[in-house]
Amino acid sequence: MIRTAILGASGFVGAELLRLCASHPELDPVRLFGDSQAGLRLDAVHPQLALAYPDLVIERYAPDLLDGIDLVFAALPHGHSQRIAPDVIARDIPFVDLGADFRLSSAEDYRTWYKEEHAAPELLSRFVYGIPELHREAIAASKTVAAAGCYPTSAILALRPLIDLVDPDTIVVDAASGVSGAGKGLKDETHFNSVDENFTAYGLLTHRHTAEMEMALGGRLLFTPHLAPMNRGILATCYAVARGPCDPLATLKAAYADEPFIHVSERPPSTKWTFGSNAVHLTARYDARTGRVLAIAALDNLVKGAAGQMIQCANLMLGLDEVAGLSRVGVCP
Amino acid sequence: MIRTAILGASGFVGAELLRLCASHPELDPVRLFGDSQAGLRLDAVHPQLALAYPDLVIERYAPDLLDGIDLVFAALPHGHSQRIAPDVIARDIPFVDLGADFRLSSAEDYRTWYKEEHAAPELLSRFVYGIPELHREAIAASKTVAAAGCYPTSAILALRPLIDLVDPDTIVVDAASGVSGAGKGLKDETHFNSVDENFTAYGLLTHRHTAEMEMALGGRLLFTPHLAPMNRGILATCYAVARGPCDPLATLKAAYADEPFIHVSERPPSTKWTFGSNAVHLTARYDARTGRVLAIAALDNLVKGAAGQMIQCANLMLGLDEVAGLSRVGVCP
Amino acid sequence: MIRTAILGASGFVGAELLRLCASHPELDPVRLFGDSQAGLRLDAVHPQLALAYPDLVIERYAPDLLDGIDLVFAALPHGHSQRIAPDVIARDIPFVDLGADFRLSSAEDYRTWYKEEHAAPELLSRFVYGIPELHREAIAASKTVAAAGCYPTSAILALRPLIDLVDPDTIVVDAASGVSGAGKGLKDETHFNSVDENFTAYGLLTHRHTAEMEMALGGRLLFTPHLAPMNRGILATCYAVARGPCDPLATLKAAYADEPFIHVSERPPSTKWTFGSNAVHLTARYDARTGRVLAIAALDNLVKGAAGQMIQCANLMLGLDEVAGLSRVGVCP
Amino acid sequence: MIRTAILGASGFVGAELLRLCASHPELDPVRLFGDSQAGLRLDAVHPQLALAYPDLVIERYAPDLLDGIDLVFAALPHGHSQRIAPDVIARDIPFVDLGADFRLSSAEDYRTWYKEEHAAPELLSRFVYGIPELHREAIAASKTVAAAGCYPTSAILALRPLIDLVDPDTIVVDAASGVSGAGKGLKDETHFNSVDENFTAYGLLTHRHTAEMEMALGGRLLFTPHLAPMNRGILATCYAVARGPCDPLATLKAAYADEPFIHVSERPPSTKWTFGSNAVHLTARYDARTGRVLAIAALDNLVKGAAGQMIQCANLMLGLDEVAGLSRVGVCP
């Protein structure tokens, strides 16, 4: 078994990593790190994990506790993993980070979008951007992967194969996310009574995931995220002006024909088909009336948009079966 | 009291008209028409109305039953009110129709989008398009009003004052609706387990409300509706390429400064602020990075998008206070 | 107009009082008191109220600010209104309190259930328990009313008329509430992701509303509250051993035949029929197999369980129409 | 691999069996039977299964199609499997039925509760009642198992170990279920707009699952089911008069100490902890004030209440690891 440490174990992504590890044949979570909840038993923080991990306790992070560890997952707010990455790299442990810290290739872009100096800019070039469908070999060859964000994964998977068909400077990404994307912290915006029976937009013009999408797709794009009254799921509806008549559905089908987690179909996808799984469902259209391409992606923000993608990357990095521990079937209904 | 008849009383909009009439000082629903549920007591169909209307019964429509009626509301599937309108017009009764039958100004557009011949094309020019904020005087002067659809009301109110700031051929309307917009009929798509914890797009490229939006805004636009897991509410997020730097928020504020039901603010609106009310909340932005205008509208599809707008139109037509019977406060939470 | 002050204006019940006052012919909210949000404009705290009250500001409470006020509503956490009541009473202003402070008739019961000494025990006997259907004359004759809690209102209205048919020591009240009953404060338990798609029990054996129910119904009863994934609504399912064969449905119908807000029917009630309204829907059964009476009540915890009941009481106290400003029609769907 | 046939593959339980089989090491669904949807590809009916089963087609049942099958699961409306069981038994194929047909041990009870004559009463005694925690050896030794219903599983697991502590004739079971328990058929009651933001009781005094509970627990009990606005999950809150002071929590902990899927804790359980998993979470209390025992169970009605329990039974019958293919971790949030 692969001795696995999880930083950020008390959050939603931490819990999801633990859920997925519980049915993974190789990954064995042996160290859980958390900050405010250090010292608590895991089942006090995540009761749904009580039967699978009756004995785990959340610890406060210290570098020495990484000794003997075979794999590190980090699911921390941005700004944190750039401080911890040197500890992991020094020990030569395979490291999959979900923070934004190592996703952008330039420290300047990081400063622009995250409004702070990067603490370890010299490490940026070591990290591979973690979307296996686009960077499979590079991930397999690397020890440091920055798993892509939830929104970018959806928009990039929908648009990347279509990018030659459109003008990338005309891309609009309009996406809706379930509330778990906002994390477990207590905020007015995520109080049940704020969200339930509500639909709203946020982060107008300024959402940081724009930077990742632009890095992967080229061009200047406008991204508007929305909050939908549901636990999980992202649906990204993407628009771009076509260079000419085209068949984007056929292009997507061809691009992803051999992908284990991607399904392309004419039917508009539902986030629910992906709930709890690593699946992505895609469709696309060319609209002759307006000369636009429309592409839509659905995924589970906590799985393919976070913990599942991390495990898929780790499987590649460790030479395991890429699909180990990952479901392709949404929990539905 | 104004003796009011409601066609389509057993549907969601019919029920909402009855709810609003119960606190309207003048409108008295005396005849309810329904088809499959004719003969049933109102409280058997809509138990929530039992205390307000203990004695009403749903009847099968016959023209003679309009005798003595002062106002007719029709909330029927498209294709039906074009057959009933002649009865109402012959009796010279003020008529507010929510169907699509008399919204488009040309029978050809109707054929294109609704895939059928119009049965009363000669009546089309008599109808005023029912958005009071845009056509107040015409509505007040008319006896036949075609209240606007739910999606078009949201997009048109968000974009109409901004139309000179943008290229209308670049408009994209990306909207999400609560499920009541799909009506009370039983379909797989509106089964609770299909919708709950789900977000999906539908009607790709072909939704009929596109025609109304294009009629009101000019230009060719691309409209993508989505279904959100909630009862009510529409949020329309609208994009267009700006003709140059501009301040669309100030433009909206100026345009709607005196409107009783429209609130413009920098804060991104939430559908929940409008729940059960006739209110519309708007915001807008100019994005210098991409040269686009972003405008967002929130409303309750069953009130400002249907029954409330019908009553607002009727108030104008009958010389009543425009806001009579209509709340401006969302039921929140 | 009746100059009305609201203590606790930044909470859910405060907002609901303001929503109801907006369509009340007489009540004019002129002073809003809040603590943490004092100094903010009302629309910053409750955007859904922006159109109805564009100019109101939340103030920090001071006794002098009650001068010139005609009516005081208090919707504060327990323990607070016992400190403010003397100010109101000294000014002889009609006062409707929603806190638990003056509901129980004995200071000893207060100590037992609320684990603290009552600060104004001498005032307890001045307050009438505010359920108009049970204490209409006393409320009309009083200047100080302690409006009943949300759960007690549901259980008491369901069981009070049946109490002679059953052994009161065998009552079990099993109720589910929407989340707004837990208030606007930020807690793990009311994070959207804790509640959505979840159903749970809480307050086992010890919920404080038990005391109110026992006071009104006699006997020792067991009450188990549950949290349902919805904004509003309480459904109380009540069980008791019958003294013998009986017809509790007929008894309820007779008891409430003339009540404007209570509807008794054979059909099991839905909380949704009451959403946003002051209505209560009831049913009951006698189960010959087990010799039990079953009675079920549905209401909106923020209206008949809070703000609506407060206004109904105030209407009585001020000699207004008891139903003024209160809807009997649930917002449905 | 074990060649598995599923009757009722187009329903919710059928889909859930397929989801669970997709991560089961041994069960291979090779034949899917459905009625109205025979002839359709599986992904047309259950798009979430498209990636896992790209080639399966739903067929119309015929006995010959069972030839070569190693295991039969039936998830059919009651009345159907009693007609098919003889085909399965004749072929000596292990058979797990989820219908009500073979759960009750007497044809007379079946007639009383299901209002029809049983078509194969002679087979009733062959079937073992399928709750592995209570009948593990009998299930392992049998070829015909009638998996318990969703509500009975919850109430029986909560109360069975406590039965000597209470008077079984005083049991009240008050339970809430997610909507998937009502199946995929189109009914007004399961339209999204009927259920969302609603909580209601149904089946008052007469729900058929009462019979199963009485069979397993002894005594006459009163059961009231409720519908909660969520996809999945049952919470059963159970009451009974205690024979004397007792510690039901300790009793439950002792009874289930070695069970892989049952977790007993002082914390009131949430249905969400079990979502998508075969876990059951339990708590219990003795209330000295009223002399009652309170016991609460949470489970996923489609897993431990249906498909998961079927697979757990099949694992036992086939000599596989009892937990194969079954998660103990709820998908949370």
What's the CATH number for D2-147+304-317?
Answer: 3.40.50.720
Confidence at residue D265, expressed as pLDDT on a 0 to 100 scale: 98
Residue C234 phi, psi dihedral angles, 5° rounding: -125, 135
Q: Which of B196, B201, B272 sits opposite A198 (nearest CB)?
A: B272
Q: Is the pLDDT of residue C298 over 90?
A: yes
Q: Which CATH architecture has domain A2-126?
A: 3-Layer(aba) Sandwich (3.40)
Neighbours of chain D (3+ CB pairs under 8 A): A, B, C
Q: Is the pLDDT of residue D153 over 90?
A: yes
Q: B76 and B90 in contact (C-beta within 8 Å)?
A: no
Neighbours of chain C (3+ CB pairs under 8 A): A, B, D
Confidence at residue B36, expressed as pLDDT on a 0 to 100 scale: 87
Bond before C152 cis per omega within 30 degrees: no
DSSP string, D255-298: HTTT-TTEEE-SSPPBGGGGTTSS-EEEEEEEETTTTEEEEEEE
CA distance A8 to chain D (A): 16
If you average pLDDT over residues C30-58, what whole number do you get?
96
ipTM over 0.95: yes
**pLDDT digit string (tens) for B18-57?**
999 999 999 999 999 998 899 999 999 999 999 999 999 9
**pLDDT digit string (tens) for A155-184?**
999 999 999 999 999 999 999 999 999 999
Q: D312 and D261 in contact (C-beta within 8 Å)?
A: yes
CA distance B187 to chain D (A): 7
If you average pLDDT over residues C215-236, what whole number do you get?
97
**pLDDT digit string (tens) for A229-249?**
999 999 999 999 999 999 999
Looking at CATH, the fold of the domain delimited by C151-300 is given as Dihydrodipicolinate Reductase; domain 2 (3.30.360)
Q: Is the pLDDT of residue B214 over 90?
A: yes
Question: Rounded CA gap, C196 and C188, in Å?
Answer: 12
Measured between CA atoms, the residue of chain B closest to residue C273 is B48
Confidence at residue B281, expressed as pLDDT on a 0 to 100 scale: 98
If you average pLDDT over residues D215-235, what whole number do you get?
97
Contacts of A242 (CB under 8 A, 6+ apart): A165, A166, A286, A291, A292, A293
Question: Rounded CA gap, D110 and D121, in Å?
Answer: 9
Q: Write out chain D residues lying below 8 Å of C296, CB-based.
A: 201, 204
Measured between CA atoms, the residue of chain D closest to residue B195 is D192
Q: What is the pTM of this model?
A: 0.97
As given in the structure block, the two tokens for residue A244 are: 């000419």
CA distance D32 to chain B (A): 21
Q: B333 and C275 in contact (C-beta within 8 Å)?
A: no
**Residues A50, D327: C-beta atoms closer than 8 Å:** no
Q: D233 and D249 in contact (C-beta within 8 Å)?
A: no
Classified as helix, coil or strand, B94 is coil
Specify the long-range contacts of residues C309-312, CB closer than 8 Å, at least 24 apart.
C309/C130, C309/C131, C309/C132, C309/C147, C309/C148, C309/C153, C309/C278, C310/C13, C310/C17, C310/C73, C310/C75, C310/C96, C310/C98, C310/C130, C310/C147, C311/C17, C311/C20, C311/C21, C311/C24, C311/C27, C311/C278, C312/C132, C312/C261, C312/C278
Annotated catalytic residue D150: yes
**Residues A229, C197: C-beta atoms closer than 8 Å:** no
**Mean of pLDDT over chain D:** 97
Is 1.10.1520.10 the CATH number for B2-148+304-317? no
**pLDDT digit string (tens) for D316-331?**
999 999 999 999 999 9
Confidence at residue C36, expressed as pLDDT on a 0 to 100 scale: 87
Q: D302 and D13 in contact (C-beta within 8 Å)?
A: yes
Measured between CA atoms, the residue of chain D closest to residue C179 is D197
Question: Rounded CA gap, A327 and D153, in Å?
Answer: 27
Q: Is the pLDDT of residue A36 over 90?
A: no
Q: Is the pLDDT of residue C266 over 90?
A: yes
**Residues A169, B222: C-beta atoms closer than 8 Å:** no
* Interface mutation vs chain A, best among D27, D43, D45, D48, most A CBs within 10 Å: D48
3-state DSSP: chain A helix, strand, coil percent, rounded to 5? 35, 25, 40
As given in the structure block, the two tokens for residue A112 are: 């622009």
If you average pLDDT over residues A112-122, what whole number do you get?
94
Q: How many Cβ pairs closer than 8 A exist between chain A and C?
A: 54
Contacts of A53 (CB under 8 A, 6+ apart): A18, A22, A29, A42, A43
Q: C303 and C15 in contact (C-beta within 8 Å)?
A: no
Question: Rounded CA gap, D177 and D232, in Å?
Answer: 7
At the fourth CATH level, which superfamily is domain B151-301? Dihydrodipicolinate Reductase; domain 2 (3.30.360.10)
**Residues D186, B184: C-beta atoms closer than 8 Å:** no
Q: Computed over its alpha carbons, how large is the radius of gyration of chain D?
A: 19
Identity of the residue numbered A138: A
Q: Is the pLDDT of residue B141 over 90?
A: yes
CA distance D315 to chain B (A): 29
If you average pLDDT over residues B99-107, what whole number do you get?
93
Q: Which of D188, D190, D197 sits opposite B231 (nearest CB)?
A: D197
Output D35 or D31, whichever has higher pLDDT.
D31
Q: How many CA atoms lie within 13 A of B298 on its CB side?
A: 29
Domain regions of chain A by residue span? 2-126, 151-301
Confidence at residue D124, expressed as pLDDT on a 0 to 100 scale: 95
Question: What is the percent of chain A where pLDDT is above 70?
Answer: 100
Band (C207; pLDDT cuts 50, 70, 90): very high
Residue B295 pairs in a beta bridge with B238, B284
**Mean of pLDDT over chain B:** 97
Q: Is the pLDDT of residue D120 over 90?
A: yes
Residue D184 pairs in a beta bridge with none
Q: Which of D231, D268, D272 sits opposite C204 (nearest CB)?
A: D268
A151-301 and A2-126 share a CATH fold: no
Confidence at residue A233, expressed as pLDDT on a 0 to 100 scale: 98
**Mean of pLDDT over chain A:** 97
Measured between CA atoms, the residue of chain A closest to residue B289 is A220
Confidence at residue D36, expressed as pLDDT on a 0 to 100 scale: 87
